[in-house]
Amino acid sequence: MKLKIFLVFFMFYTQSLFGIEKIIDPNTIHKNLRCLVCQGQSISDSNSDFAQTIKLVVKDLINEGKTEDEIYSFMSDKYGEWIVFKPQLNAQNSLLWILPYIALIFGGFFIFTLVKKRQ
């Protein structure tokens, strides 16, 4: 009985988890693009003409059926990598993406050896 309740619950849960539709939200994209004429603001936060233009471009690209990642690479091809707040995973940025995890693994390993030494 317990197991059955659990199973129903579990199925229900996973279903609701994976049932989310993937819609492209222009606001998310605006937030991940830098306003090039402002100081440290994103397109979404800025009131500048540049930001207004980019918003229109993003709207057009979404209507053309481009995915989020395609829009980012379109933007960085056109304006340079500076415009996207999410650094691309390429050779130049590999250290940026990997080093935190190396530090995490190293730290964990270090604690593990400290604890193990005792036994």
Give CA–CA dist 43/38, Å, rounded: 9
Give me the amino acid identity at 82: W
Size of the site for another protein (CB under 8 A): 50
Give the nearer residue to another protein in terms of CB position, either 7 or 99. Answer: 99
Give CA–CA dist 118/70, Å, rounded: 53
Q: How far is the CB of 87 from another protein (least distance, A)?
A: 5
* Spatial CB neighbours of 61, under 8 Å, sequence gap ≥ 6: 70, 71, 74
Residues 4-43 that bind another protein (CB under 8 A): 9, 12-13, 16-17, 19-20, 26-27, 30-32, 34, 39-42
Give the nearer residue to another protein in terms of CB position, either 3 or 17. Answer: 17
- Maximum separation of any 2 CA atoms in the chain, in Å: 66
Residues 48-77 that bind another protein (CB under 8 A): 49, 52, 55
Site pattern 72..101 for another protein (x: CB under 8 A): --------xxxxxxxx----xx-xxx-xxx
The CA-based dihedral angle spanning residues 54, 55, 58, 63, taken in that order and rounded to the nearest 10 degrees:
-140
Give the nearer residue to another protein in terms of CB position, either 38 or 66. Answer: 38
Cα Rg, the chain, nearest whole Å: 22
Binding site for another protein (CB under 8 A): 9, 12-13, 16-17, 19-20, 26-27, 30-32, 34, 39-42, 44-45, 47, 49, 52, 55, 80-87, 92-93, 95-97, 99-101, 103-104, 107-108, 110-111, 114-118
